[in-house]
A and B are shown apart, each in its own frame.
Chain A
């Protein structure tokens, strides 16, 4: 089938099959390898991308579902001049990743959270990020990075 959607702000048209997942189309057809695939059963969150602002598991979400929608992946976060998104910068500043495999999913989930709730409490961050699993860094710096990004983005909007 012919799939049309907006990917990281640009309209795209790709040929895909009904059974192909969004992760397969992103990684195999479009060569966007930032979206990681790990558990493949919607548990770990490594493959999180945003569809119309909502986080989904690209590993199990059919590409078909993205028709006519806005898809944002980790590749779509940095600005055209190369400036990192406040979340990406905060993950670096807080040392919130070690191996980095869960990081794109972590950042995309955190982005969805901050878009919905720009000033979340620590408890709200933990509840929202509950479905994103990290197996090496530990969650403390990840939560700290999200808090730091929320603060940075809050200052940005106030300017």
Chain B
């Protein structure tokens, strides 16, 4: 078996204590939320830490609750918990459905939403959908709190804007009313998605008043394009004619890269296919 190097596990009882530990251990320490990404990298000796800080021991960090028209999900909530949460299924089925398709059932049982976002592996289903849904991330370092949008949290491949002693407390997702239509579709052959496409529309009858399309996994960060979003608004018939142009604008903004999940040209092509699928699914 591929053994892990020796490390010590720490169990903070609060976000402030975890932040304190991060400050104390510096580069020798890292937050541990589910291990589905981190432990793999450590097994392969790509990352080495002497101290892991188990954020799951912080009471309440895994809560999922509705508050003032928003859905709040703690950083340590597992994909499985989100997938099965009645509050999520009822109020934001697109999120439950996306979570039901993350990796495999075992990864969903131990992997967490916070871990997925903060590890910032570019092939992330949650990152793309949360960006499209206008989610915010609540970050905390000792006693200092700040709130950022997902595109300000994830800043590159495996890179975030988190400070050295800062951690993700939770995600807040606004619940738009009945006029919202949303879909998340993806293309995946192996363990990680080649492409994920999230589409969130605000509709009034046959008119699409607002649109947000985000493509994830094809490049280092999930991407949206104002031009594409503009082309996706208007009457349904008109938007249908503009879908390919919108996909082109989105592909240009995303600037797909070649990787093990597929070539850049292929991913550009897939954006067109999956934008269409997302559009049909969202309005079904």
A1 to chain B, nearest CB (A): 8
Contacts beyond the supplied A60-B40, A62-B9, A130-B105: 19 A-B pairs with Cβ under 8 Å = A18-B6, A18-B8, A19-B3, A19-B6, A21-B1, A37-B1, A40-B2, A41-B40, A42-B36, A45-B104, A45-B106, A48-B106, A55-B105, A57-B107, A59-B1, A60-B36, A61-B35, A61-B110, A62-B39
For the complex, give the distance between the alpha carbons of A40 and B106 in Å.
13
With both beta carbons as reference points, the residue of chain B lying nearest to A27 in the complex is identified as B1
- Cβ contact within 8 Å between A56 and B1: no
Closest to A43 in B: B191
Q: Known: A40-B43, A43-B191. Is A54-B109 also a contact (CB below 8 A)?
A: yes
Contact yes or no, B105 A131, CB < 8 A: yes
Cα distance A51–B5 in the bound complex, in angstroms = 24
- Number of B interface residues at 8 Å Cβ cutoff, please give it: 24
Give the Cβ gap from B44 to chain A, nearest Cβ, in Å: 8
Closest CB in chain A relative to B137 CB, distance in Å: 25
Q: List chain A residues, Cβ under 8 A from B35.
A: 60-62
Q: What is the count of residue pairs linking A and B with beta-carbon distances less than 8 angstroms?
A: 74
Q: Are A55 and B109 in contact (CB under 8 A)?
A: yes
Q: Which residues of B contact A (CB under 8 A)?
A: 1-9, 35-36, 39-40, 43, 52, 80, 103-107, 109-110, 191
* Nearest CB in chain B: distance from A118 CB, A: 16
With A45-B104, A131-B104 given, is the CB distance from A18 to B43 under 8 Å?
no
